[in-house]
Structure 1
Amino acid sequence: MNIDSHQHFWNYEPVKHEWIDDSMSVIRKDFLPDDLKKVYAENGIDGCVAVQADQTLVETDFLLDLASKNNFIKGIVGWIDLRADNLETVLNTYKEQEKLKGFRHVVQGEEDPNFLLRPNFLKGISILEKYNYTYDILVFPHQLGAVLELVKRFPNQKFVIDHIAKPYIKDGFYDGWAVLMKEIGKHKNVYCKLSGMITEADFNTWTPAQIHPYMNLILEVFGAERTMFGSDWPVCLVAGNYKRVKALITEFISKMSFTEQNAIMGNNAIKFYSLK
């Protein structure tokens, strides 16, 4: 099965979605399951994991509602306040929700470079491990030092790095990002999504050749068994379309074995998120 491990839905609201700036005006509108169904039919995608785009429990409930009505949404990554004293109480309210697979915090938006390592956040991660939820890591390269410390502390927690940690592809910066990704990748509980790459390059002039070195590093470090395809739809639309995003990855991995290609294009997401 071809599984898109990373996409979003929203009813567009200017204040809630203020991160969608003028350069991304093409996605200032609603994006819902009916829109994505058409895209998937055109691109041979069988299902997806829907990931939070707003840091509220309302967002988690919104995604769960969509997943309950659309079988192609195989799992969701919601938001919950991992720093809250009542975290376990809130988690228990979701225990019957089989499609809720894990959680994410928009750490890239936090000013504190060591946000991930603060005691209240670490306590939250330790509780996620107990409940067998995954955690999606959304960071910029300058936050990778904290990521390394985090994954070392929790060797039994399932982590996945979103968008290959958003390297500065547009500027051609590589080495600092690569050094830390190599260290993080040594930890076998960490996966990585080949997603969100074209929007870290120049929206209008990016080429596959510019992105290949970054994908090379990810496959070298995480291997075919811990790497997964993600579109980052609809955010990807600011720099291309679904077909181009999928082709960027499928063409890059085309010389790998069918087993490896199938792992990256779906089986790893099924395994990581325990999708049905």
Structure 2
Amino acid sequence: MCMRLDAHQHYWLIERGDYDWITPEVPELYRNFLPSDLKPHLDSHQLDGSITVQAAPTLEETDYLLSLADRDATIVGVVGWIDLFDPEHRRHYERFRKHPKFIGFRIMIQDMPDANVILEPAFIQALNEYVKEDVPIDLLVRSHQLEPLLKLIEQVPGIRGVVDHLGKPPIRSGQMKPWESLMKQIARFPRIYCKLSGMVTEAEHCRWSQEDFNEYVHKVVAMFGPDRVIFGSDWPVCLLSAEYDQVVDVLAEALPKHWGEREHARLFGLNAKAFYKLEKDGVHHEIP
């Protein structure tokens, strides 16, 4: 049986102090979320495990997530954080990579006041180090930052990257442009994947309908194909707008009706295994 994965979720301890964006004014998120909280949802949807992704731009949080992974078998991989503008980024990466469950890192373009800084020579030079080593890299962007991201990919076309949350399209307004045209250009690069995740929080919180999501999913699947899309719940951030079950149901309803067992197996596990180079029974998965 194929391993089924939730390839994008988060854990945190509020008292660690890493998460300045989680405040008492956000009661849905202002508490601890740990593997024991996620386990019932994984079991309910026959998911064998998850990939936990950094939610704070600190090295300490990555260390914490790796320590969680040491203690919990459901965490199959950790996507950490490093700052490519930090002259010491390589030293931090080398330390993290020694952990067997460290599978890559995330660039948080979303939080950059000016996304064009990713086009600076120093950033591109640092990124190229990891591209040469085929390191999986998550790319967190808002839809208005897709143009700088496209320019970055054009300058480092060998990057093994995955665009998180469909590139955060403007689901609230239902707009398609320029998100659609930019994502279509990004999808031309065969080593770029897209996570079908984070949709419910881009819609009107708790007031969305299924129709809000269908066209965005249809377009991403058409752009990237069934072999380059990856399921992620974005739990617990999704709780701002929907429960875990609703997230799964929304995606399932929006998928192409002609999809069969093969396509679903790829979306819900095999593509994540290939992208993140997860190994099982000595098999090493590669992408083109």
2:157 and 2:74 mapped to 1: Cα distance? 31
1:39-58 alignment, distance < 5 Å: 39-58=41-60
Matched, 1:196 2:177: no
Normalised to the residue count of structure 2, the TM-score between the two structures is 0.91
CA contact under 8 A between 1:170 and 1:202: conserved in structure 2? yes
Residue 201 to residue 23, structure 1, CA distance change in 2 (3 Å): farther
What's the offset of the Cα at 1:17?
Answer: 2.4
Aligned residue in 2 for 1:142:
144
Aligned residue in 1 for 2:132:
130
CA contact under 8 A between 1:194 and 1:227: conserved in structure 2? yes
Residue 218 to residue 22, structure 1, CA distance change in 2 (3 Å): farther
* C-alpha distance after superposition, 1:15-64 (max 9, x if no partner): 64232367742111000111111221122211111100011111111111
1:24 and 1:247 mapped to 2: Cα distance? 25
Aligned residue in 1 for 2:245:
243
1:21 and 1:177 mapped to 2: Cα distance? 30
Q: Which has the higher contact order (CA 8 A, sep 6+)?
A: 1
Aligned residue in 1 for 2:113:
111
CA contact under 8 A between 2:18 and 2:58: conserved in structure 1? no
The two structures, once aligned, show a CA RMSD in angstroms of 1.6
What's the offset of the Cα at 1:2?
Answer: 1.6
Aligned residue in 2 for 1:159:
161
Matched, 1:271 2:274: yes
Counterpart amino acid of 1:90? H
CA contact under 8 A between 2:103 and 2:276: conserved in structure 1? yes
Gaps of 5+ in 1: none
Of residues 231, 234, 238 in structure 1, which corresponds to 2:233? 231
1:14 and 1:65 mapped to 2: Cα distance? 14
Aligned length: 276
Gaps of 5+ in 2: 280-288
What's the offset of the Cα at 1:164?
Answer: 0.5
Q: Secondary structure at the match of 1:191?
A: strand
Aligned residue in 1 for 2:96:
94
Aligned residue in 1 for 2:263:
260
Normalised to the residue count of structure 1, the TM-score between the two structures is 0.95
CA contact under 8 A between 2:24 and 2:30: conserved in structure 1? no
What's the offset of the Cα at 1:123?
Answer: 1.9
What's the offset of the Cα at 1:152?
Answer: 1.6
What's the offset of the Cα at 1:13?
Answer: 4.4
Counterpart amino acid of 1:107? I
Aligned residue in 2 for 1:66:
68
Matched, 1:26 2:45: no
